[in-house]
């Protein structure tokens, strides 16, 4: 890794150190809120955009430069690996991802494809990573990512998104052996998929356990955490690992224990108390946690909310500013630029009067 990358604001914070300015990047920073993204996407499906290595790289690089983010995240989707395993996947307007043949029993899991072959089938993501690394500024790190076993399994079992995850829980509780077999298959596919992105040029990696917050901690620890841990332990030494989920205030210690170098904090969790409970920057870095809905608010309200988040970040050691979830498509890109510029100008710790 070059010294420019090693000394970048983002990677410095990932190591628990204090960068010279607060690093910022945003989940879903390349997306529909950007006119240029919509122009590239016009006439193409979401999957076609993900699978076109040149366009996926283009929207990744453009988004980072447009908003002056301190890191880029490769344009892809957590569900691509399910398609690689043989599950028909499409994105339906108004409904989101739809998996036409959901997994409901042991024979469905047994029919999934070979995990290594699934990772190979998603090799276009690593190709996009390589192109993106070539075209990004030399001091801007690139983040690769994948879905966590529970979140991938829930999509595969439910056939799409869900609010209650009833079928997922039913399989997990009634047929624990099949649940573990499915989780092990997802981990076995995700490990080479993640490594391919890292080998291609990703300097950090994020695991999205988006729906983990739906579970009580005891069930998560017993039935889910061992598989997250198995995946996290395969991220190479020296590659900072971020683990993030929504409504996961009760699981943050489990994310840390799984192997996270950086724990993502959602918008409904008090970051200061959560970080203290995690052991502070001496133990783990944190990322978060502005409510993305505030990007729809007037500028004064938005920046005041950003300052309240920054006031919880101490002197900035081990801290990365981000949202508590992805950017809404209704967001004005100029509001995003104003937010990032404001955060970059702040010196931590903030004076008490600013908070």
Query: Which residues are catalytically annotated?
Result: 28, 32, 41, 77, 155
DSSP string, 126-183: HHHHHHHHHHS-TT--EEEEEE-HHHHHHHHHHTB--SS-HHHHHHHHH-HHHHHHHH
Cβ burial of 163 (10 Å; 0-12, 13-18, 19+) is: exposed
Answer for the pair 288, 308: CB distance below 8 angstroms, yes or no: no
Q: Measure CA 128 to chain center.
A: 17
Measured in degrees and rounded to the nearest 5, phi and psi for residue 194 equal -65, -45
- Buried b / exposed e across 302-320, counting CB within 10 Å, b at 16+? bbebbeebbbbbbebbbbb
Q: Measure the CA–CA gap between 53 and 201, rounded to whole angstroms.
A: 14
In angstroms, what is the C-alpha Rg of the chain? Answer: 19
Answer for the pair 151, 224: CB distance below 8 angstroms, yes or no: no
Report the DSSP pairing between strands 72-73 and 96-99: unpaired
Q: Measure the CA–CA gap between 22 and 20, rounded to whole angstroms.
A: 7
Helix 225-232 to helix 176-200 angle, to the nearest 10 degrees?
Answer: 20
Q: Measure the CA–CA gap between 102 and 82, rounded to whole angstroms.
A: 11
Q: Measure the CA–CA gap between 207 and 53, rounded to whole angstroms.
A: 21
Answer for the pair 242, 204: CB distance below 8 angstroms, yes or no: yes
Q: Considering only CA atoms, which of 35, 75, 15, 21 is closest in space to residue 238?
A: 15
Unique residue bearing structure tokens 């955490």? 225
């Amino acid at each position: 890794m070059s010294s420019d990358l090693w000394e970048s604001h983002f990677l410095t914070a990932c190591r628990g150190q204090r960068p010279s300015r607060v690093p910022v990047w945003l989940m879903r920073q390349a997306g529909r809120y950007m006119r240029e993204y919509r122009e590239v996407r016009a006439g193409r499906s979401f999957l076609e955009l993900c699978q076109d290595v040149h366009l996926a790289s283009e929207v990744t690089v453009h988004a980072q430069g447009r908003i002056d983010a301190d890191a880029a995240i490769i344009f892809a989707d957590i569900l691509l690996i399910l398609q690689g395993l043989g599950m028909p996947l499409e994105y339906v307007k108004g409904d989101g991802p739809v998996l036409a043949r959901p997994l409901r029993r042991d024979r469905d899991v047994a029919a999934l494809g070979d995990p290594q072959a699934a990772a190979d089938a998603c090799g276009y993501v690593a190709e996009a990573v390589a192109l993106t690394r070539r075209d990004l500024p030399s001091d801007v790190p690139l983040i690769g990512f994948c879905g966590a076993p529970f979140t991938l399994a829930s999509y595969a079992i439910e056939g799409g998104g869900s609010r209650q995850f009833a079928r997922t829980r039913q399989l997990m509780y009634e047929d624990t052996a099949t649940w573990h077999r499915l989780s092990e298959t997802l981990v076995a596919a995700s490990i080479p998929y993640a490594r391919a992105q890292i080998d291609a040029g990703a300097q950090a990696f994020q695991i999205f356990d988006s729906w983990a917050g739906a579970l009580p901690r005891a069930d998560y620890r017993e039935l889910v955490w061992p598989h997250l841990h198995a995946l996290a332990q395969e991220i190479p030494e020296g590659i900072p690992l971020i683990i993030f989920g929504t409504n996961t205030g009760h699981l943050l210690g489990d994310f840390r224990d799984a192997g996270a170098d950086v724990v993502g904090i959602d918008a409904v969790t008090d970051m200061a108390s959560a970080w203290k409970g995690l052991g502070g920057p001496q133990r783990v870095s944190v990322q978060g946690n502005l409510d993305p809905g505030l990007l729809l608010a007037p500028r004064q309200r938005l920046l005041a909310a950003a300052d309240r988040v920054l006031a919880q970040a101490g002197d900035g050691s081990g801290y990365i500013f981000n949202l508590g979830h992805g950017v809404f498509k209704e967001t004005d890109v100029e509001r995003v630029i104003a937010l990032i510029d404001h955060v970059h100008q702040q010196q931590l710790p903030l004076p008490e009067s600013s908070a």
